[in-house]
Amino acid sequence: MSSMSANDDSLLSAITFLGLYEELRSDNLSHHMVHFNTSSQILKARMSELKQCDKVVFLRIHAESAMYHLSTRALFADTLPDEPDWAQLQQYLSMRPPSGAVEWTESPLLGSIPQLFTLILETTRLSRAVPLSTALMEKAKTYLDEIQDNKLRLALLKSKIAAEYENLERTMELEVYCMPRLYLLALEIFLFKIMGPITTHADSPEIQKRADEAHVLFRSAPFQIIHDEMRPGPDPAYPFTESNCWPLMIIGCATTRQEHIATLKAVFLNLWRVRYSGYVRKVIRVVDAAWKINHAYCESKSAISPEEAMNSASEAMAPMDGLDVLIQRQGVGWGSFS
């Protein structure tokens, strides 16, 4: 059998496939991140091919797959990609699609705002350093500024699409605008918690404002199927897949209203029945644990006086709420929410 080199396309394809295959496992034996870390190292070794036109699509798709998985699964990982390695992966996003491609189709896997996934990874990196130093707090503030910039970009993209398409398909609006919008709201929630780990809770006004915005989005036309099809069972038209689990997890941990919890339960039930993915199972466990903690937190808060509540907010160990499950120094462990 002939040996393979890092430049062998079939090696990169096989490793990416193994990562995708292992992620389907719904037990604690999946090692899919090993494969995506390996593919990122292979892509690092193939940087010299960035200017080869015949490799543009192939290499970019594999780079986007690695970036997507390494960022959105980072909350469950013990170690995160090094910043220099990630910076090299990002260079693959500079590879341009064929001329004539519309702006929102440049990234086939990462969507209309591919920079979102760098923000997700770096925000997760910050969560491992809570409480933040002065320098890291400034970095968190720059991420919030980037989120605002991306909100403006999303609004412009939505206007462009509406101008170019007389009858805008729900699927296009969902992929180009609604899903990235969910990611941005989730990032804001996560950052607010990281920046104020003791004083920021799921029921804080700035958190609930974003959670409510997310649930208003769930009630918009592109998401109508999650209300028309509130029944378990596979549906190929279902708008959620594992690619949308990261924002659902963050928003889920911030959700406190019973009607919103009911909506998310239906979303997760359908998502599990459609995919049976190990990642989906992990996310469901985390969100379910967060809801229980939020309920206990609300009950404990109502049982103490306002003065006691203020004192607890200034202590090193404030009452735990649902968002606290996301702040882990070494990753959210599989067994933590069994």
Work out the mean pLDDT of the chain and round it to a whole number: 83
Phi, psi of 146 (to 5 degrees): -60, -40
What is the distance of C-alpha 258 from the center of its chain?
23
Please answer whether residues 176 and 103 qualify as being in contact, where contact means their C-beta atoms are separated by less than 8 angstroms.
no
Per-residue pLDDT band for 108 (boundaries 50, 70, 90) equals confident
- Written as one letter, the residue type at 325 is V
Q: DSSP H helical segments within the chain, as ranges?
A: 9-23, 32-45, 56-72, 83-90, 116-127, 134-164, 170-173, 179-195, 205-218, 225-228, 245-254, 258-275, 278-302, 306-314
Mind listing the pLDDT tens digit for each residue in 40-74?
999 988 888 777 767 778 888 999 999 999 999 99
User: What's the rounded Cα separation, in Å, for the pair 282 and 26?
Assistant: 8
Mind listing the pLDDT tens digit for each residue in 171-203?
778 888 889 999 999 999 999 999 999 999 999
What pTM value is reported for the model? 0.87
Largest Cα span, the chain: 73
Mind listing the pLDDT tens digit for each residue in 275-323?
778 888 889 999 999 999 999 988 877 654 444 443 444 444 455 889 9
Sequence ranges of the domains in the chain: 1-110
- Asked if pLDDT for residue 93 goes beyond 90, the answer is no
Please answer whether residues 168 and 161 qualify as being in contact, where contact means their C-beta atoms are separated by less than 8 angstroms.
yes
Q: Strand, helix or coil at 255?
A: coil
